[in-house]
């Protein structure tokens, strides 16, 4: 599962890293949460960084307030579920991030259960989660609501002690371009969805400030020593 993450890299660095421009100014977020509008690059506009709402509302839904709005989609079953299968074929996106949070569900190494951890690359550089997106249109008003979900996979060796799932971090710039490439098959896209190398990642324990999305501040990132 991926239910919280950060995106705090400087805008200029982000635009150079992803070869895309921000469609509008974006403030850093230290505690990105579902229902928020967050930076995404879609396959239909690969040169633009847009804000989409986290929590997928499929185009075919009549009432966006009813039914689930999944924040995650399992990589292994994308081709089996009709709504995800169609999006895998035609609506993929890069969800921009530079770390994510996970809560360890069991007591370990002197830590209490549900201990929050911050997970990031050893390089601390920004990266992209593999995502799917769609546009829901209000038939009464014509309002268009673009939304997204983050693809998850089995955990690598770093993540396994923390949780049984992890978000798919696309492993290279080439993989990011391939994920957005409409010329590839669904099978080729699905082959990109694997755990990121554990040896290139790091994690540490943080405080429970992160438990509330209201805490969107640098203090959320501060490490906490085990008792």
pLDDT at 112 over 90: no
Largest CA distance in the chain: 56
Kindly name the residue from 2, 93, 176, 203 that is annotated as catalytic: 2
Q: pLDDT tens for residues 161-215?
A: 999 999 999 999 999 999 999 999 999 999 999 999 999 999 999 999 999 999 9
- The whole-number average pLDDT for the span 70-89 is 91
Report d(CA 127, CA 124) in Å as an integer. Answer: 9
Q: How far is CA 67 from each of CA 58, 62, 64, 70, 77, rounded to the nearest angstrom?
A: 10, 10, 7, 9, 20
Cβ neighbours of 140 (radius 10 Å): 6
Report d(CA 162, CA 164) in Å as an integer. Answer: 7
Backbone dihedral angles phi then psi of residue 84, each to the nearest 5 degrees: -75, -35
pLDDT at 57 over 70: yes
Backbone dihedral angles phi then psi of residue 181, each to the nearest 5 degrees: -75, 115
Confidence (pLDDT) at 111: 58
Going by pLDDT thresholds of 50, 70 and 90, the confidence category of residue 44 is very high
Confidence (pLDDT) at 223: 96
Confidence (pLDDT) at 107: 61
SS3 of 69-87: CCCEEEHHHCCCCHHHHHH
Backbone dihedral angles phi then psi of residue 129, each to the nearest 5 degrees: -75, 145
Q: Which of 202, 222, 216, 219 is nearest to 28 (CA)?
A: 216
The answer to whether residue 2 is catalytic is yes
Mean pLDDT computed over every residue of the chain: 93
* 14-21: long-range contacts, CB 8 A cutoff, minimum separation 24: 14/39, 14/49, 14/96, 14/126, 15/49, 17/125, 17/126, 18/49, 18/94, 18/96, 18/126, 18/128, 18/176, 19/46, 19/47, 20/46, 20/47, 20/48, 20/49, 21/47, 21/48, 21/49
Going by pLDDT thresholds of 50, 70 and 90, the confidence category of residue 90 is very high
Confidence (pLDDT) at 141: 86
Confidence (pLDDT) at 136: 92
The answer to whether residue 107 is catalytic is no
- The whole-number average pLDDT for the span 96-111 is 81
- The whole-number average pLDDT for the span 111-132 is 92
In the chain, the percentage of residues whose pLDDT exceeds 70 is 96
Confidence (pLDDT) at 227: 54
| Token pair in block for residue 21 | 């421009």
142's torsion region: left (phi>0), alpha (psi -120 to 50) or beta?
Answer: left
- The whole-number average pLDDT for the span 110-130 is 89
pLDDT at 67 over 70: yes
In the chain, the percentage of residues whose pLDDT exceeds 90 is 81
Kindly name the residue from 24, 76, 102, 135 that is annotated as catalytic: 102
Helix, strand, coil shares of the chain, percent, nearest 5, are 20, 35, 45
Confidence (pLDDT) at 155: 97
Backbone dihedral angles phi then psi of residue 88, each to the nearest 5 degrees: -60, -35
Confidence (pLDDT) at 59: 87
Q: pLDDT tens for residues 15-35?
A: 999 999 999 999 999 999 999
Confidence (pLDDT) at 110: 59
């Amino acid at each position: 599962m991926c239910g919280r993450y950060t995106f705090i890299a400087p805008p200029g660095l982000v635009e150079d890293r992803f070869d895309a421009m921000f469609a509008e100014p974006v403030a850093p977020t230290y505690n990105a949460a579902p229902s928020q509008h967050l930076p995404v690059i879609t396959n239909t506009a690969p040169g633009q960084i847009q804000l989409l709402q986290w929590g997928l509302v499929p185009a075919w839904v009549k009432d966006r307030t009813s039914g689930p709005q999944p924040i995650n989609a399992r990589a292994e079953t994308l081709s089996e579920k009709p709504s995800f299968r169609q999006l895998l074929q035609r609506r993929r996106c890069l969800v921009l991030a530079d770390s994510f949070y996970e809560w360890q569900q069991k007591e370990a190494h002197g830590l209490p259960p549900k201990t929050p951890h911050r997970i990031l690359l050893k390089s601390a550089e920004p990266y992209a989660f593999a995502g799917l997106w769609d546009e829901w249109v209000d038939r009464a008003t014509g309002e268009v609501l673009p939304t997204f979900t983050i693809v998850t996979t089995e955990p690598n060796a770093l993540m396994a002690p923390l949780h049984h799932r992890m978000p798919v971090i696309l492993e290279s710039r080439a993989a990011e371009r391939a994920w957005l490439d409409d010329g590839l098959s669904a099978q080729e896209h699905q082959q990109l969805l694997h755990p990121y190398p554990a040896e290139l990642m790091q994690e540490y324990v943080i405080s429970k400030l992160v438990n509330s999305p209201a805490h969107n501040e640098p203090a959320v990132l501060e490490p906490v020593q085990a008792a």
